[in-house]
Amino acid sequence: MKNTLRLDHHNRTIIMDRTFAKYAANTMSTEYAHLQAVRQDYPNYTVTQRQIKRKTTKECYRGLTYEYMEDYIKTHGSKEEAATNMANYKELKLISQCHSTSRRYPTIKKWFLDKYPEVKAFGVIEEDEVAEAEVKNEIDELMPKFAAVS
C-alpha cells in the first residue's frame, strides 16, 4: 500500500490524501480495511482529506504560448527591433532545447516578459481604479433609492 493515513493528534484528525480516499471508496480494498481499523482505534477523530496549499499570488499566463510570443514579437516595435528580438528569441529557444522541457518554457517566458512588460501588466487594475469602481458602484446602488424619495 503506497498511500497511507496520517494521524494529527493535536487536532484529533485522521488525514488521507486524494489517492487513498479514492481507493478507500471501494469497500473491498485494503485501503478501506486500513481506514476502518484506524477509525476503530481512534473513534473520536474526524477523517479529512489532505488539501494542497496553493499559492494565491502566483501569476499565471495561460495563453502565453511560443506561438503567441512569436506573433507578438513580429507585430510590436520597429522592424529592426522586431528582427533583433526574434533572433534573440530563436537563439534562446535553440539553446533551451538541450535542457529538460520543464526548464525551457520558464526561461523563455521570463525573457519575453522582461522584454515586453506591457504583456505582464495587461488587465491589471491599479488600487486607485478599484477604489473608484467601488465608489461608482455604491453611487449606482443609492441613486434609485434617492430618486424614489425625491
User: Strand 46-49 vs strand 5-8: parallel, antiparallel, or unpaired?
Assistant: unpaired
Indicate the pTM of the whole model.
0.49
Three-point CA angle 65, 66, 69, nearest 5°: 90
Burial of residue 117 (CB within 10 Å: 0-12, 13-18, 19+) is exposed
Band of pLDDT at residue 35, cut at 50, 70 and 90:
very high
Whether the predicted pLDDT of 104 surpasses 90: no
Whether the predicted pLDDT of 141 surpasses 90: no
Q: pLDDT tens-digit profile of 45-68? A: 999 999 888 887 777 777 888 898
Whether the predicted pLDDT of 112 surpasses 60: yes
pLDDT of residue 132: 64
pLDDT of residue 8: 94
> Are 18 and 50 in contact, with CB atoms under 8 Å apart?
yes
What distance in Å separates the CA atoms of residue 54 and residue 71, rounded to the nearest whole number?
A: 32
> Are 73 and 82 in contact, with CB atoms under 8 Å apart?
yes
Q: Residue 144: how many CB atoms within 10 A of its CB?
A: 9
pLDDT of residue 142: 65
